Amino acid sequence: MAAIQVVRSEWTKIRSVASTVWTLSLAVVVTIALGMLISALSKNEFDKMSRSDQLSFDPTFISFAGMSLGQLAMIVFGVLVVSNEYSTGMIRTSLAAVPQRATFLVSKIAVATGLSLVVGLATSFVAFFLGQAMLGSHKASIGDTGVLRAVIGGGLYMTLIAMFSMGVAAMLRSPMLSLGILMPFFFLVSNILGNVSATKKIGRYLPDQAGSKIMQVVTPVDDSTPYGPWGGLGIMTLWVVAALAGGYVLLKKRDA
C-alpha cells in the first residue's frame, strides 16, 4: 500500500473532526493574546526593573510568553489526534484497513506534525510581530542577530510539543490518562523543577525547558545552561524521538 494513500486518509480524518479546529485555534489565540498582554505589561514595567534585569531584557522571548499556556492546547491536539482512534474504537477499523502498523503510525504523525508546523510557525511569527508592536521602543527587529532563529524556533517548539504528546498518547492510548499526565507535567512540574535551585540541573533537561532555549535571544546574565539554543532543541528532539519510538514499539506488538 502506498504510504501516500494513508497520508491522504489521515488528512481526511484530521480535517473532519471539530477537535482539530478547536485545539489549534485555541493554541494560536492564547499564544498570541497572552504574548501581547505580557509584552505590553513589560514595556510599562521596564523602567522599574533592576539593572541586571534590564540588561537581560529579551523582547523576543517576552513576546513568546503566551506559549507556556498555548502549548497546552498543542498538547491536547497531539493527544487527541492519536488517542481518538483508541477511545472510539476506530483503531480496529483503521488497522484492519492498514495492517502495516508502521505505515499507519508514521502517516498519522506526519500529517498531524505537518499541520502543527504550519500552525506553529504562523503563530510564532504573528506573536512576535504583535508582541514587538506592544513593546514600543524596547522592541527587537526580525533582522537582529538570533531573532529570526528564535521566531522559527518558536514554531518548531510548538510542533515538537505536539509530537511529544502524540508519542505519549500512542503509548498510553487513553486520552484522559495522557492529558492527566502531560498537562500538569508541562504546566507545573517542569516549571517547579526548573525554578527550584536544587533540581534546576535536572529540570533544564526536560523537553520544554530545553526546547524553549531556542526562543531566547539575550542570554540571562547569570545563565549557566550547558547547551545553546540548537542544543536545547536537540535535547527536546531526543525526547520526542524517544516518545514516538516507544509509541511505535507498543503499537507494533500490542493487540489492538
Partner 1 sequence: MIEAVGLTKRYGDKTAVYNLSFQVRPGAVTGFLGPNGSGKSTTMRMILGLDNPTTGQVTIGGYPYRKLPNAPRQVGALLDAKAVHGGRHARNHLLCLAQLSGIPARRVDEVLGVVGLQDVAKKRSKGFSLGMGQRLGIAAALLGDPQVLLFDEPVNGLDPEGILWVRNLMKALAAEGRTVFVSSHLMSEMALTADHLIVIGRGQLLADMSIKDFISANSADFARVRTPDTEPQLREKLSSALTEAGGHVLPEQDGGLRVTGLPLPRISDIAHDTDVRLWELSPHQASLEEAYMRMTQGAVDYRSTIDQKAGLQQPMPPGAQPPMPVPGQGQPGWYAPPPPQQGGQPFAPPVPQGQPVQPMQPPASPYGAPAGPGAGAPNPYAAQAPAAPPAAPAAPASDLTKPEDAR
Q: CA 223, CA 216: separation in Å to the nearest integer?
A: 12
Share in percent of the chain as helix, strand, coil (round to 5): 80, 0, 20
The reply on whether position 25 binds partner 1 by CB under 8 A is: no
Q: Which long-range contacts (CB under 8 A, 24 or more apart) does 134-141 make?
A: 134/36, 134/39, 134/40, 134/43, 134/63, 135/39, 135/40, 135/42, 135/43, 135/59, 135/62, 135/63, 136/43, 137/43, 138/42, 138/43, 138/46, 138/57, 138/59, 139/59, 140/59, 140/60, 140/217
The reply on whether position 13 binds partner 1 by CB under 8 A is: yes
Residue 28: closest CA among 161, 130, 126:
126
The reply on whether position 55 binds partner 1 by CB under 8 A is: no
Given the rule CB under 8 A, which of 1-9, 58-66, 159-167, 201-209 is the region that contacts partner 1?
1-9
CA distances from 184 to 54, 137, 208, 239 (A): 32, 36, 13, 18
Total interface residues for partner 1 by CB under 8 A: 29
The reply on whether position 100 binds partner 1 by CB under 8 A is: yes
CA distances from 160 to 8, 52, 106, 192, 220 (A): 22, 32, 15, 21, 24
The reply on whether position 89 binds partner 1 by CB under 8 A is: yes
Q: Tell me the closest approach of the beta carbon of residue 166 to partner 1, in angstroms.
A: 16
Given the rule CB under 8 A, which of 59-67, 86-94, 144-152, 170-178 is the region that contacts partner 1?
86-94
Given the rule CB under 8 A, which of 7-15, 35-43, 199-207, 230-238 is the region that contacts partner 1?
7-15
Interface pick for partner 1 out of 17, 49, 55, 221 (rule CB under 8 A) = 17
The residue (of 90 and 221) whose beta carbon lies closer to partner 1 is: 90
Contact between 128 and 60 (Cβ < 8 Å): yes
The reply on whether position 95 binds partner 1 by CB under 8 A is: yes
The residue (of 5 and 199) whose beta carbon lies closer to partner 1 is: 5
Q: Tell me the closest approach of the beta carbon of residue 91 to partner 1, in angstroms.
A: 8
Given the rule CB under 8 A, which of 82-90, 116-124, 125-133, 182-190 is the region that contacts partner 1?
82-90
Residue 126: closest CA among 103, 154, 105, 104:
154
Interface pick for partner 1 out of 97, 192, 202, 249 (rule CB under 8 A) = 97
The reply on whether position 8 binds partner 1 by CB under 8 A is: yes
The reply on whether position 12 binds partner 1 by CB under 8 A is: yes
Given the rule CB under 8 A, which of 34-42, 60-68, 89-97, 197-205 is the region that contacts partner 1?
89-97
Residue 254 phi/psi, 5° resolution? Answer: -85, 150
State the residues that interact with partner 1 by CB under 8 A. Answer: 1-2, 5-6, 8-10, 12-13, 16-19, 84, 88-93, 95-100, 253, 255-256
